[in-house]
A and B are shown apart, each in its own frame.
Chain A
Amino acid sequence: MSAWEIFGLHGKTAIDLVLTSLHFMMLSLLSVGGTLATAPDMQNFLVVIHGWMNDAQFTSSIAIGQAAPGPNVLFVALLGLNVAGFAGAIITLVSIMLPSSFLTLRVGRLRLKRADSLFLRAFTSGLSPLTLGLLLSTGWLLTAPTRGEWGAIVLIVLTVVVMVRTKTSPLVLIAIGALAGMLGLV
């Protein structure tokens, strides 16, 4: 595919785009543990159900998002880019943020004094195990293009150990990953 094709819609119809937008708006309201926790559902929708991209493209989108500065949520724009070029990028990014931001705007104006109230504590502690499960699911899905390869397994374990045990910048690890990939180690 030529790079300039990202200015086109990749043959998607208006209905495709509206359905994608609605789906991402629903995920926006479910993204309590952050946007990456909704990635398994995005993978299901974009790769499994619609076949609009493959596992390698999905994983690359998240990898590029992690390598660039700024909020994590930007990987969603790259998913949209794979679906329908720049128009798709804007549609998915706006859709994943609009409903949650609108809710935040309303709730923020209530000036909740007690962020530690009983309900809020029950809400966060009830949902944090789900977030953990969703993050592990996201990690699992990202390994799809390299699953079962020894190099990849070693690199994942290395990344996890370094991140948990030291204060190394994730950027350093991403650079090591890129190098390992260029050398054909993973």
Chain B
Amino acid sequence: MATTAADDDRSPRKPSSLLELFRVFSRLALQGFGGVIPIAHVELVERERWLSPEEFVELLAIGQVLPGPNIINVAVIFGDRWFGWRGALAAVAGLLTFPLAIVLSLAFVYQSFASLPLVTGALRGMGVVAAGLIVSTAIKLLKTFSGNPLGLPLSLALALAILVLVGFLRWPLIWAVLGLGIPAIAFAWKRLEAKRREARQ
């Protein structure tokens, strides 16, 4: 089969070995503070050219829909694509090994000095900021609600219901997800189908 110029243009390269997969995923994980996804785009699409921008978006979309950390899901599918389950393992190990060593060392140091007021104070302050960071992630998610087929009022009502049930009343997550998530998915489906039918007419 002839290779076309278009194929050459994109020149999708591929990881040559499990070790290279491990190395590249290690490198991108170690640069990721507060989110590895943007770094993954730079490393996998721009630097290594293992994925085209479209392939990256598609991979990320699947990674986000499935349960589990998005970047771990991306690593699993990408690694598996080239080297089967060993590739998935190498990519995930790359993401986790060095950051895990760093995080455990930090915890070890923290426990060694936990009796010092300066250290407990620092951790208290960092905890407050951590809460703020998570709330700001939530606010960024809120900006996507205008396009939600559930509509803005229902989306907000659902979010508020979850905050009350899980955050304040401490319901187990599984009841909240089964009780509210499944009806919400069904309703979104109905709305999307109705929209599609309208579009056809």
Contact = CB atoms under 8 A, between A and B. Distances in A.
B74 to A, nearest CB: 9
Contacts of A173: 129, 132-133
B129 A41 contact: no
Interface stretch (B14-22, B42-50, B97-105): B97-105
Nearest to A116: B61
Nearest to A155: B128
A133 B122 contact: no
A101 B136 CA distance: 27
A91 interface: no
B163 to A, nearest CB: 5
B125 A163 contact: no
A70 B103 contact: yes
B73 A104 contact: yes
Nearest to B123: A60
A174 B167 contact: no
A122 B129 contact: no
Name A's interface SS.
helix
Interface in A99-113: 99-101, 103-105, 107-109, 112
A71 B108 CA distance: 19
Given A66-B34, A126-B186, A182-B118, A71 B71 contact: yes
Interface in B24-43: 29-36
Contacts of A174: 126, 129-130, 133
Nearest to A165: B136
B29 A186 contact: no
A41 B166 contact: yes
Interface in B108-151: 108-112, 114, 118, 120-142, 144-145, 148-150
Which size bracket describes the interface of A in this complex?
35 or more
Name B's interface SS.
helix
Contact of B128 (A129, A133, A146): A146
A105 B124 contact: no
B174 interface: yes
B135 A136 contact: yes
Contacts of A63: 123, 126-127, 129-130
A18 interface: no
Contacts of A60: 110, 123, 126-127
Closest 3 CB pairs of A and B: A70-B99, A181-B125, A133-B162
Interface of A: 1-3, 6, 26-32, 34-36, 38, 40-41, 44, 48, 56, 59-74, 77-78, 81, 86, 89, 93, 97, 99-101, 103-105, 107-109, 112, 115-116, 118-143, 145-146, 152, 155-160, 163-164, 169-171, 173-174, 176-186
Interface of B: 29-36, 58, 61-73, 76-77, 80-81, 85, 88, 92, 95-96, 98-100, 102-104, 106-112, 114, 118, 120-142, 144-145, 148-150, 154-156, 158-163, 166-168, 170, 172-174, 176-177, 180-181, 184-189, 192-193, 196
Given A137-B167, A159-B136, 11 more contacts: A64-B106, A65-B103, A78-B104, A97-B72, A99-B67, A101-B72, A136-B138, A140-B131, A146-B128, A170-B35, A182-B122
23 contacts: A3-B109, A3-B112, A27-B173, A31-B67, A36-B137, A56-B127, A61-B107, A63-B130, A69-B31, A70-B32, A101-B76, A101-B92, A108-B77, A118-B196, A129-B184, A130-B184, A132-B145, A133-B160, A135-B138, A141-B167, A143-B128, A146-B128, A156-B129
